[in-house]
Amino acid sequence: MLPEAVLLQAQQEMLDWQGTGMSVMELGHRGEAFQRVAAETESDLRDILAVPAHYKLLFLAGGASTQFAMVPLNLLANNSAADYIDTGIWSKKAIGEARRYGDVNIASQRVTRDGWAAIPPQAEWSLNPKAAYVHYTANETIEGIAFPYIPTTGDVPLVVDMTSSILSAPLDVSRFGIIYAGAQKNLGQAGITLVIVREDLIRDPLPFTPTLFSYKVEAENHSFYNTPPTYAWYMMGLVAKWVKREGGLAEFAKRTQRKSTKLYSYIDSNADFYRNTVHPTYRSCINIPFNLVNEALTETFLIEAAAAGLTNLKGHKLAGGIRASMYNAMPEAGVDALVTFMQAFALKYG
């Protein structure tokens, strides 16, 4: 989902970007015009996220799955040990790719305790103090489980996949070695990934790394080693300006909190009909999966919801059930409409 204001601006500028008579799609990436798009996007994102000066921003083709390979390829050249926290499907994908390049230790894993899905507290993790890095997934979109804190890993660099949660709340970038986020959730359109990398982690990668997969090459070339996804970069810039106009990350944290609280409160107070099984401490405020206690009603729920204009509620194929997402572009009225529908549905079938 994208903010309407952003789509309207993209629409208006489609054939003529700022009086150039050209679409952003037609701007040469090395030309003065696109350089401005690129530089403004970076400076707006640095501003919003309060990125310290010793971090580089990279704008790379592809999605987060590309980073599943780039992280180990770039960080395991001198030390092949990596710690991963396994909290769900996305963690597992990152782990699968990392195992191809190094010795992966699963330092902790999602558990079910007293019927609740949870992330074990850090005291229970088996971190390797000599690991090249610790990787975790801030928010698991499919299971609806998220970290309510930033892990503490001492001198071991912390790497995080923030594809689904970036720009949803203020962030202390200085706690991380690398933050990466595919753009298609809160940063614009699919096909580009933002990577925020601490300068001391930019080193020679494993020798067989494709040139374009080297953070060093990309950083030295300001993400212009080859033609970058220019239009997706531009869209990210429009989104960044929209986030600023709307009040920045503190404002989006409030909105996300309000939206998710509304839905969780309703679900929890109607536990005979709807159920979310993630422990409240570890619940995602971005992706809220839930089930109908009478699972036979799921299909009916989805059909009637769609008829009421509520689409994209089907749970991931690996999880089933229902899932509502609270990305920045989703207005509060959308949650209100969903809760209203859920009330009527429970009344009708309860």
Catalytic residue positions, numbered: 90, 161, 185
Shortest Cβ distance from residue 202 to its own copies (Å)? 19
- Per CB under 8 A, the list member of 37, 235, 263, 288 interacting with its own copies is 235
Cα 252 to chain centroid, rounded: 14
61 Cβ neighbours under 8 A, 6+ residues apart: 191, 192, 193, 212, 228, 229
Shortest Cβ distance from residue 327 to its own copies (Å)? 10
Enter the tokens of residue 247.
């009040």
- Taking alpha carbons only, the member of 312, 326, 330, 185 closest to residue 263 is 326
Rounded to whole angstroms, the Cα distance separating 154 from 172 reads: 15
Shortest Cβ distance from residue 150 to its own copies (Å)? 26
Cβ proximity to its own copies: between 149 and 208 the closer is 208
By the 10 Å C-beta count (0-12 exposed, 13-18 middle, 19+ buried), 121 is classed as exposed
Q: Does residue number 320 form part of the binding site for its own copies (CB under 8 A)?
A: no
For its own copies, which stretch binds (CB under 8 A), given 79-87, 96-104, 135-143, 295-303? 96-104
Q: Does residue number 216 form part of the binding site for its own copies (CB under 8 A)?
A: no
For its own copies, which stretch binds (CB under 8 A), given 92-100, 107-115, 166-174, 261-269? 92-100
Are the C-beta atoms of residues 201 and 215 closer than 8 Å to each other? Answer: yes
What is the amino acid identity at position 179?
A: I
Shortest Cβ distance from residue 316 to its own copies (Å)? 10
Q: Does residue number 188 form part of the binding site for its own copies (CB under 8 A)?
A: yes
Cβ proximity to its own copies: between 118 and 187 the closer is 187
Write the interaction track for its own copies spanning residues 1-30; mark x where CB under 8 A is met and - where it is not: xx-x--xx-xx--xx-------x-xx-xx-
For its own copies, which stretch binds (CB under 8 A), given 38-46, 123-131, 167-175, 180-188? 180-188
Q: Does residue number 190 form part of the binding site for its own copies (CB under 8 A)?
A: yes
Q: Does residue number 153 form part of the binding site for its own copies (CB under 8 A)?
A: no
- Per CB under 8 A, the list member of 129, 208, 269, 333 interacting with its own copies is 208
Q: Does residue number 343 form part of the binding site for its own copies (CB under 8 A)?
A: no
Q: Does residue number 274 form part of the binding site for its own copies (CB under 8 A)?
A: no
Shortest Cβ distance from residue 120 to its own copies (Å)? 28
Rounded to whole angstroms, the Cα distance separating 310 from 300 reads: 13
Q: Does residue number 101 form part of the binding site for its own copies (CB under 8 A)?
A: yes
Q: Does residue number 142 form part of the binding site for its own copies (CB under 8 A)?
A: no
Are the C-beta atoms of residues 286 and 326 closer than 8 Å to each other? Answer: yes
- Per CB under 8 A, the list member of 182, 205, 237, 315 interacting with its own copies is 182
* Long-range interactions of 154-159: CB distance < 8 A, separation 24+: 154/129, 155/129, 156/83, 156/127, 156/128, 156/129, 156/131, 156/132, 157/75, 157/132, 157/133, 157/198, 157/201, 158/133, 158/134, 159/71, 159/75, 159/133, 159/134, 159/135
Shortest Cβ distance from residue 342 to its own copies (Å)? 21
Are the C-beta atoms of residues 90 and 267 closer than 8 Å to each other? Answer: no
53 Cβ neighbours under 8 A, 6+ residues apart: none
User: How many residues make contact with its own copies (CB under 8 A)?
Assistant: 51
The dihedral region occupied by 117, where left means phi > 0, alpha psi between -120 and 50, and beta the remainder, is beta
Q: Does residue number 66 form part of the binding site for its own copies (CB under 8 A)?
A: yes
Are the C-beta atoms of residues 249 and 48 closer than 8 Å to each other? Answer: yes
Question: What DSSP state is assigned to residue 252?
Answer: H
Are the C-beta atoms of residues 259 and 332 closer than 8 Å to each other? Answer: yes
Shortest Cβ distance from residue 218 to its own copies (Å)? 11
- Per CB under 8 A, the list member of 102, 144, 229, 315 interacting with its own copies is 229
Residues of the shown chain interacting with its own copies in the complex, contacts defined by CB under 8 A: 1-2, 4, 7-8, 10-11, 14-15, 23, 25-26, 28-29, 61-66, 68-70, 73, 96-97, 100-101, 182, 184, 188-192, 206, 208, 210-213, 225-232, 235, 312
